[in-house]
Homo-oligomer: A and B are copies of this chain.
Amino acid sequence: MRRHFAIISSMPKRSSAATLADIALHAQVHKTTASRALDPERRHMVSPEVVGRVEAAARALNYRVNRAASALRTGRSGTVGVLLPDITNPVFPPILRGIEQALAAEGFFVLVADTGNEQAPDQAADRMLAQRVEGLIIATSSLHDPLVERLVRDQVKVVLVNRRDEDGSLPAVVSDDMLGMKLAVDHLVSIGHRRIAHLSGPLALSTGSLRQAGFRQAMAAHGLEPAGFAECDAYSCDAGEDGTRRLLDSEAEFTAIVAANDLIALGAIQALQAQGRKVPQDVSVVGHNDMPLMDRVSPPLTTVRILHYEMGFRAARLLLDSLRGVPGTTSTVVLRPELVVRGSSAPL
């Protein structure tokens, strides 16, 4: 096309974007030389004077390398895919931000798929692989995830974030879920609670399963039995309300609830108040995650703070290292959570 126009007349500028050939022409060098001059990694092979000419030409023609072409040639697309279950869940934005900033610093881009309900993560992953992403960061995985297993079989570079696989064989960046629950239980015990119930997340997820195990272990360490238990089928307020109603119906007696997640905790508070039980006077509630705004809900939520941003950032770094063949990138990074005491828990 452009060539065609060029023959007809000297076009005003470019009918489409400038290419290396244009730069080469303008700077009076071969396009190979132009390519080298514009790449910091290979610039040293070119005389400073030529580098100057090429850069000037690139600026004059508003040149931008065509990543589709270089991706085809080199096999590197400069993109990484991120699979999220639901970006509107407040846990994920800071994770995504950490991922994005770690990758942007190295010139990589993030392709995001919010796999939500309708669209299966499998499809999203396949489309991403067609886009030739160099690796995948997955926040959607369950303990036994067929998708993840398939990806690993296909030798796709994968890092899990916020979730881990059953046998811990995949690189993952997570918070110490067992420790988090211990912090919550220890806090409640220290202010006098003995009858403590647990609202778990989905047990098919590592977070749900590990936090439940952490709860039981922490209780046992104090010589206590769980005073009640209900599994919530999602990390949402609704699921928390529902789980709490089941807990109340079971006629379990408890003075405190440890929830697997802040949203579940908010649902629990809602359900308790609907039954006339005051939080924290009648029942203390502790969440997990310390999502944004948890200091401003009513009552302000006592919770376990997780380093979301850092989780995303380190997951991205782990993937970058793995792409560059740095050894030891199969390791799992476990971040240390901390307790944040607010108004939803009170001495018995």
Contact = CB atoms under 8 A, between A and B. Distances in A.
Interface of A: 16, 62, 64-69, 71-72, 75, 77-79, 86-88, 90, 92-94, 96-97, 100-101, 104, 107, 109-114, 116, 119, 124, 126-132, 154, 266, 270, 292-293, 296-300
A131 B316 CA distance: 20
21 contacts: A64-B129, A64-B130, A66-B72, A68-B72, A68-B77, A69-B72, A87-B93, A87-B97, A88-B93, A88-B97, A88-B292, A90-B293, A96-B114, A100-B113, A107-B127, A109-B113, A109-B128, A110-B111, A266-B293, A266-B296, A298-B299
A241 to B, nearest CB: 12
Contacts of A71: 68
B111 A97 contact: no
A111 B114 contact: no
Contact of A104 (B69, B72, B113, B298): B113
Given A88-B97, A112-B112, A114-B97, A79 B131 contact: yes
Given A88-B97, A109-B131, A296-B298, 19 more contacts: A68-B68, A68-B71, A79-B111, A86-B97, A87-B97, A87-B100, A88-B292, A90-B93, A90-B292, A97-B116, A100-B112, A101-B114, A101-B116, A104-B119, A109-B113, A110-B112, A266-B296, A293-B293, A298-B300
Most B Cβ at <10 Å: residue of A92, A114, A116, A297: A114
A109 B111 contact: yes
Given A87-B96, A114-B101, A62 B131 contact: no
A77 B92 CA distance: 27
A101 B94 CA distance: 20
A150 to B, nearest CB: 10
Contacts of A113: 100, 104, 109-110
A68 to B, nearest CB: 4
A312 to B, nearest CB: 11
Contacts of A97: 86-88, 114, 116
Given A112-B110, A113-B104, A154-B62, A132 B68 contact: yes
